[in-house]
Amino acid sequence: MYENIRTRFAPSPTGRLHIGNARTAILNWLFARHSGGRLILRIEDTDRQRSTKESEEAIIEDLKWLGIDWDEGPDCGGDFGPYRQSERLDIYSRYAEKLREMGRAYPCYCKPEELEERRRERLKRKETIIYDGRCRELTESAKKKLEAEGRRPVLRFKVEEKEVSFEDRIKGKISFLSENIGDFVIMRQNGMPMYNFSCVVDDHLMRVSHVIRGDDHVSNTPRQVLLYRALGWDPPVFAHVPMILGKDGARLSKRWGAVSVAQYRNLGYLPDALFNFLSLLSWSSESGDEIISKDRLIKEFDFDRISASASIFDQQKLDWMNGIYIRRLSIEEFTDMVYSVLKSSYDSISKKEEVEPIARMLHNKVERLSQISEIAKIFFQKNPIPENDEAFSILKSSDSQRVLEAFLRAVEDMDKIDRERFQKVMNQIKKDTEISGKSLWMPVRVALTGSMHGPDLPQIAEFLGLKKCREFISRATGQKRVQDG
């Protein structure tokens, strides 16, 4: 058991929670709960133009939907707040001034267009793109002259070390040459802190022991390590988890469809299924199991089982996993979900009990809740239309017409139909027509539903009732007379 473990998840409120960030939040949560530590939620909202209160609230909603809770944060407080960076500006200013007094930071008056011109020049000479340090040793008189011109400086950190190394919990030892880093900005002209600086100050003051994040932050880490050392602080343990890629090997993006937790929620994925799936991107159980409860994930979490290689987002695997979680729901739980989905689409539904037969038919058929509406429409249509040319051709064949006419004869004297009676009808038709298999069942399915696929046909017939079965079959035979039964 670890002692004094403190992890953090620190999203920027500039949009909904991305799948990659959700995976990072899950790993931080699992490690904190496994070790008996604490998880901090910190909102990094120093980008005033893009950060919104709405995004912050949406991220918190997405995290809670996934089942992730935290011990300290903007909504629940804690001993090391405030937990929004926009409320900590005086703290950053104080430590920035400390670095300046120590001679480890200096004002830089270079204009953006000047920096861009030098960047192009270095590119032409095939040199590393870093700041050339020309404002490092400005005299006080030179600074006053530049300020008189109306120039407002940024504050740069002075990189003096030749090399910076750190031990990554997943990737091992990583080293960077300082000549590839250069003096970097820690405070903007408007007094807002840069990411690397505010992150270091917050992680230290909030006593974060482990920083678990995506490996797109590896390049930020040497700058942060330099800041820790300059301020006389011990860096936390860094653990950079590999990126999540699409099947084409590229980073997840909108071209892959859904990329946010909210989109997957709207598509009908269950929170436990998505949590389980994301937890296994880069991490695996020693047992090899893939369907794993949160309690087991907490118990088995181990950094040594996190791969250093990129993980692939397999949509088919997520669908399969979500289907398993749906089938694990009780029929009562699933009926509630079916009712919630269908009541807004069909005015005829007024009670939950009315959709229970549908729920029983669909419980083993859907992999996403969003499929419910598409499949369930067969139960509410007034005139089933074959879904495609193949379905149309099935109804037109002479054997199909024989089956449908035989069906009408078989139910002529019946007063109701249920699964058992429907099966007897189909057996009688098979005997009378000597037609069997797909040629027997498919024309009846298409006539009753318009579709070539769907739930168990006897259950469909029972739900529709004898009157609708007669009506739909009669239409499919081309008969004008509709038996009311």
Q: CA 40 to CA 55: how far, in whole Å?
A: 18
Dihedral Cα 391, 395, 396, 397, nearest 10 deg: 100
DSSP line for 175-198: EEEGGGT-SEEEE-TTSPBPHHHH
Dihedral Cα 240, 244, 250, 254, nearest 10 deg: -120
Q: CA 62 to CA 294: how far, in whole Å?
A: 17
Shortest CA distance to 408 belongs to which of 355, 481, 321? Answer: 481
Q: CA 260 to CA 253: how far, in whole Å?
A: 10
In 3-state terms, what secondary structure has residue 457?
helix
Q: What is the largest CA-CA distance in the chain?
A: 108
The answer to whether 153 touches 136, Cβ cutoff 8 Å, is no
Q: Partners of 167 in the beta sheet?
A: 173
Q: Which one is catalytic: 254, 351, 382, 480?
A: 254
416 is catalytic: no
Element (H, E) at 241: strand 237-241
In 3-state terms, what secondary structure has residue 144?
helix
The answer to whether 481 touches 408, Cβ cutoff 8 Å, is no
Query: For the sheet containing 184-187, what is the strand order?
Result: 105-108, 154-157, 184-187
In 3-state terms, what secondary structure has residue 310?
coil
Q: Output the CA torsion sign for 386, 266, 314, 286.
A: negative
Q: Which residues of 32-50 are buried (b: 16+ CB within 10 A; e: fewer)?
A: bbbbebbbbbbbbbbeeee
DSSP line for 86-138: GG-HHHHHHHHHHHHHTTSEEEE---HHHHHHHHHHHHHTT-------TTTT-
Provide the 10 A C-beta neighbour count for residue 298. 16
Cα 4 to chain center, whole Å?
Answer: 30
Provide the 10 A C-beta neighbour count for residue 6. 20
**Amino acid in the structure at residue 186:** I
Q: CA 182 to CA 206: how far, in whole Å?
A: 28
Catalytically annotated residues: 254
